[in-house]
Amino acid sequence: MATTAEQTSTFSARHWHNQDSQAALDQLKSGREGLSREQAKKRLVEYGANQLPEVNTKSPWIRFLQQFNNVLIYVLLVAGAGTLLLNHLVDASVIFTVVLLNALIGFIQEGKAEDALRKIRQMLSPSAEVVRDGHHHAIDARELVPGDIVQLHAGDKVPADLRLIAVKGLQIQEATLTGESVAVEKNTASVSSNAVLGDRRCMCFSSTLVTHGQGLGVVVCTGAHTEIGRISHLVSQVHTTTTPLLRQMAQFGRWLSMAILVIAVINFIFGLWIHQYTAADMFLASVSLAVAAIPEGLPAIMTITLAIGVQRMAKRNAILRKLPAVETLGAVSVICSDKTGTLTRNEMTVHSAATAEHVFEFEGTGYNSRGGILYEGRETDAEQRPVLWKMLHAGVLCSESALEQGENIHQLQVVGDPMEGALLVAGLKAGLEADTLNGQYPRSDLIPFDSEHRFMATLNHGHHSEASILLKGAPENVLRMCSWQKTASGDLHKIEPDYWLKKLEEFAAQGQRVLAIAMKPVHKNQRTLNFSDVETGMIMLGLFGLIDPPREEAIRAVSRCHQAGISVKMITGDHAATAKAIARQLKLTNPEQALTGEQLMAMDIDELRSLVDSIDVYARVDPEHKLQLVQLLQERGYIAAMTGDGVNDAPALKRADVGIAMGMNGTEAAKEAAEMVLADDNFASISHAVEEGRTVYDNLKKAILFILPTNGGEALIVLAAVLLGFNQLPLTPVQILWVNMITAVTLALSLAFEPPEANVMRRAPRDSQQPLLSPLLIWRIAFVSVILATGTISLYLWELRAGQSIEVARTVAVNTLVMFEIFYLFNARYILASVLNIQGLLGNRFVLYAIALLVVFQIAFTYLPPLNALFGTAAINFAQWLSIILVSSSVFILVEFEKFILRRLNNI
């Protein structure tokens, strides 16, 4: 069997689109009668089956074990080991349960990445109609070999990459490969060797869909060497990037682990040498210090906060497949968006109409019948405009498509060609119903659209014995068939090609697809329509300009992204003029410059690297270009989000920091390669998701800013006890674990429900390279830790000097620490802003629920005998509670004063 390299050098490396069809047949040693069965068998052995390689996936056990390869999990395991050393099996069980739950969540959420390749394999055609030994046969598509002659019909899925040798009205939907919104007309003419996929009209590619006509092609590439096979290989080779949060948490975990280890060792040595404690006592104290310093609840809080973000996003049509992607969205600094269906409606709309004397504009967008017809900015009655009226008649009658009722009375759905559907909707805006019009002017014959002659014509008869040929098609072709043009007065003038070509250029420059409309009266007894009837003597009525308009909400969302410091780049398979026209309407930063796939191919990497910052529009691009652009943007320091719907987008979706697939029109391959799926295929949902992502990151920072002072205060308490030579620790390890876990589950968790701050989408994206803990956060953690430790130790010593037992003193210490956290929770809701207002104190009802729940827990901790026995606590009186509340409330006052000073210093 030929190796991959051998087949690549033999067939797949050739520019088949650059050769004429006979040259391709000669190269493949084939002909129109096809291969013989013996040749096909030999080639099947030589080149292998026409299927994509099986995906090499990791076993479930390996993927499950990899979920533990995380610094945060290591920290939790250390905490669990510490509690085991202290012989507290219940506490160790709780910690190890948290570890297991984290691993299970990761396994379930992220274990489907390999499915992207499986979904691509499922896109291949199961069967093919092939010519062998001069006869047609239906065979399993896996048996196709280079040189086979394949027959294509409407509705077929192309079974391999083909060089076309004959076509008849062949149109193929290639959106999954090129992103182009409308079906492509195919022909047999060769094109430039550096033509991008969307311009290779003489080629058909595996997995694309035949929507119209017939074709005959020779197989040039099979299996892994097809375009879809090449994309599958790209997907398998692309390595996903680590999310900014995980990078920051890994850095934070390393820093925290090292700090804890150093302090614990210093603590052990100091107590052993200075205070002459026994090694066993100091080992217990050092383990207590480590348990105090480790934020056991942080990974669980992080996971829950991300999960809450996922739920919030789902309500706004953004479905997250991977938890870390929630936070990554908040760091996004550039969004590379597909055009069709995401920034635009994916609904063709008649935007303009030009007659020999006037230009009209049509209001409304998409398949919505509401909207007027304007002339010079004012609404006009189409019936009073004879030529426009006749154009609209012809557009409705010369059609093979239909409209169906959509969600509301004005919203319609097109059955058939989108451009014909747009003409039908334009007719409705003038009051022309297709069914009524077809009844008044029944069709007696037609010439169907064909990619060779590029027009459609119908012969219609009226009830007043009149008959007309109505024709629509490519303007260049229609102009050659016209001898006259109709004026508003009803007169016929000799055709003026220069005028029409100028209007064609104007419409094209605005990104509009242009259809020409012509007609010709014939004798009332004519019942058949031939090509000779339309070759000359046609009367030019006008041009329709059609466009897939941008979504109104997308325009607003792009503006919102710009306010948030996020660059928006449009990457599309459509033509450059269309892309720039849409970019202008969307108000992209630089809508006047566009790079095409051909230009990208001609550029060296350094030249492209220098342009990616400034160019916002990329047109007629191939899959490698999308992947390359994402990689270059990431090299420039951007956190890149990439949208896509086709299998051609899968490599770039997988590589991007956040891959965003379309839920309504996207392929399964794109969805499996992405981290997020848009349920409504709407760009506006991305901006909402970015807002949620930023809110999630803010809430994580608030949770960390709340949790770490608790651990810092506990560690300082243990450290101070050793340094000051206390006979017994103010807090036991099991009490420390109680405080850490119970406050994390209640108080810290409530911060995950914080609503977005007012300025969340008016600030620049955060620097993903900055550490999780900024100097401000480190200062706040140290400041609050000292307050908590000082107040707790003071009340502990006060109780001992008052003659209370060690159990009572420790109970007061634990409750003081918990009450400190309750008061500090209000401070933590805003990092710098004051909470001394109604919104700051009562704006998050979950904070109030958490406090009430924690108070119940602490009452049980203090007064229930079983818990007294388990945690070594004792009941305390009202006076002790009063002193606890008075001391612990100091943190609220001191932190709010500190915020005030910082706001003054920073002029906030």
Tell me how far apart the alpha carbons of residues 365 and 552 are, in angstroms, rounded to a whole number: 9
Find the Cα–Cα–Cα–Cα dihedral 373, 377, 379, 381, rounded to 10°: -70
Contact 227, 192 (CB under 8 A): no
For residue 128, the cross-strand partners are 139
* Tokens linked to 321: 């497949």
* Tokens linked to 466: 């009149």
- Residues whose CB is less than 8 angstroms from the CB of residue 44 and which lie 6 or more positions away in sequence, other chains included: 143, 145
Tell me how far apart the alpha carbons of residues 522 and 485 are, in angstroms, rounded to a whole number: 16
In 3D space, the residue among 482, 483, 477 whose CA is nearest the CA of residue 452 turns out to be 477
Q: Which of 148, 161, 199, 338 is catalytic?
A: 338
Contact 270, 723 (CB under 8 A): yes
For residue 164, the cross-strand partners are 217
DSSP 8-class letter at 199: G
Tell me how far apart the alpha carbons of residues 218 and 418 are, in angstroms, rounded to a whole number: 30
Tell me how far apart the alpha carbons of residues 730 and 786 are, in angstroms, rounded to a whole number: 15
Find the Cα–Cα–Cα–Cα dihedral 362, 367, 371, 373, rounded to 10°: 30
State the residue for tokens 């009202």. Answer: 878
State the residue for tokens 């017809």. Answer: 373
Tell me the three state secondary structure of residue 853: helix
**Maximal C-alpha separation, the chain:** 121
Tell me the three state secondary structure of residue 738: helix
* Tokens linked to 134: 């001069």
Contact 814, 738 (CB under 8 A): yes
Neighbouring CB atoms inside 10 A of 807's CB total 15
Contact 52, 227 (CB under 8 A): no
Q: Which one-letter amino acid corresponds to residue 399?
A: S
Given the DSSP bridges, would you call strands 455-461 and 492-494 parallel, antiparallel or unpaired? Answer: unpaired
Phi (first) and psi of residue 681, to 5 degrees? 55, 30
Tell me the three state secondary structure of residue 29: coil
Q: Give, to the nearest 10 degrees, the angle between helix 733-743 and helix 845-863.
A: 150
Instruction: Determine if residue 858 is left, alpha or beta; phi over 0 gives left, psi from -120 to 50 gives alpha, anything else beta.
Output: alpha
State the residue for tokens 């069980």. Answer: 93
Work out the burial of residue 602: count CB atoms within 10 Å of its CB; fewer than 13 is exposed, 13-18 middle, 19 or more buried.
Answer: exposed
Residue 606, CB-side half-sphere exposure with 13 Å CA sphere: 0
Find the angle CA(12)-CA(17)-CA(19) to the nearest 5 degrees: 95
Is 148 known to be catalytic? no
Tell me the three state secondary structure of residue 360: strand
Given the DSSP bridges, would you call strands 513-522 and 538-547 parallel, antiparallel or unpaired? Answer: antiparallel
Tell me how far apart the alpha carbons of residues 35 and 43 are, in angstroms, rounded to a whole number: 10
Q: What is the DSSP string of 819-831?
A: HHHHHHHHHHTSS
Contact 644, 659 (CB under 8 A): yes
Helix/strand number for the chain, H first, E second: 36, 28
Tell me how far apart the alpha carbons of residues 572 and 454 are, in angstroms, rounded to a whole number: 25
Q: What is the DSSP string of 480-502?
A: HHEEEEE-TTS-EEE--HHHHHH
- Residues serving a catalytic function are 338
